[in-house]
């Protein structure tokens, strides 16, 4: 009985810690390369990087002891991504409208949120607002310089993998003109 209580308590605290992780920013490691990023949290730093050199269709991220991967579902279709967390989370991100990479529907099959730029075609600011799940707001530190971003993370009951899916989509599509040819 005591072992079960300790195990349940440990799982609960681990889950709360994973949900409580607050993102504060993200920036490129190198000024002229968008394949490696440093993720900033309240507790420290993590990283986001392409899995294969010059192939921007698969990525990995590490934040503390949490790992996840991001990949295009279909190699030649940039309108659908899969985000897989090391805890079994599977998040799907699809464009809301065909061939419009500005507005995204992100779901883990129990919770769906929308992410889009604040100002139409201006990719310097992105926002997710949901009555029950809070707000995630990203903006560039300097206008039209997509190398460094501030993240205002006021989300509730959202895993780090769901947050990373939104952060990834914002920075990926804001830096798209600088990616190598596919």
* pLDDT digit string, tens, across residues 52-70: 988 899 999 999 899 999 9
pLDDT at 109 over 70: yes
pLDDT at 14 over 60: no
pLDDT at 181 over 90: no
Average pLDDT, the chain: 87
Q: How confident is the model at residue 121 (pLDDT cuts 50, 70, 90)?
A: confident
Asked if residue 101 lies in contact with residue 78, where contact means CB atoms within 8 angstroms, the answer is yes
- The parent domain of residue 116 ranges over 2-178
Our count of domains for the chain comes to 1
Q: What integer is the mean pLDDT of 105-126?
A: 92
Q: What integer is the mean pLDDT of 118-137?
A: 93
Q: What pLDDT does residue 16 have?
A: 41
Q: What integer is the mean pLDDT of 143-170?
A: 95
Q: What integer is the mean pLDDT of 150-172?
A: 95
pLDDT at 103 over 80: yes
Q: What pLDDT does residue 2 have?
A: 54
Q: What pLDDT does residue 1 have?
A: 54
């Amino acid at each position: 009985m005591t072992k079960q209580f300790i195990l349940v308590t440990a799982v609960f605290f681990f889950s709360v810690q994973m949900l409580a992780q607050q993102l504060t920013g993200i920036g490129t490691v190198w000024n002229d390369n968008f394949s490696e990023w440093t993720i900033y949290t309240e507790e420290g730093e993590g990283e986001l990087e392409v899995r294969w050199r010059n192939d921007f269709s698969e990525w990995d991220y590490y934040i503390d002891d949490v790992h996840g991967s991001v990949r295009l579902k279909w190699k030649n279709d940039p309108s659908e991504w899969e985000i897989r967390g090391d805890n079994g989370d599977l998040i799907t991100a699809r464009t809301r409208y065909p061939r419009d990479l500005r507005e995204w529907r992100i779901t883990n099959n129990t919770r769906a949120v929308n992410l889009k730029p604040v100002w139409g075609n201006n990719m310097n600011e992105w926002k997710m607002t949901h009555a029950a799940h809070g707000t995630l707001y990203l903006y560039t530190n300097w206008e039209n310089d997509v190398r460094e971003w501030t993240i205002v993370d006021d989300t509730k009951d959202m895993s780090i993998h769901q947050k990373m899916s939104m952060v990834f989509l914002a920075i990926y599509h804001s830096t798209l003109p600088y990616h190598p040819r596919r």
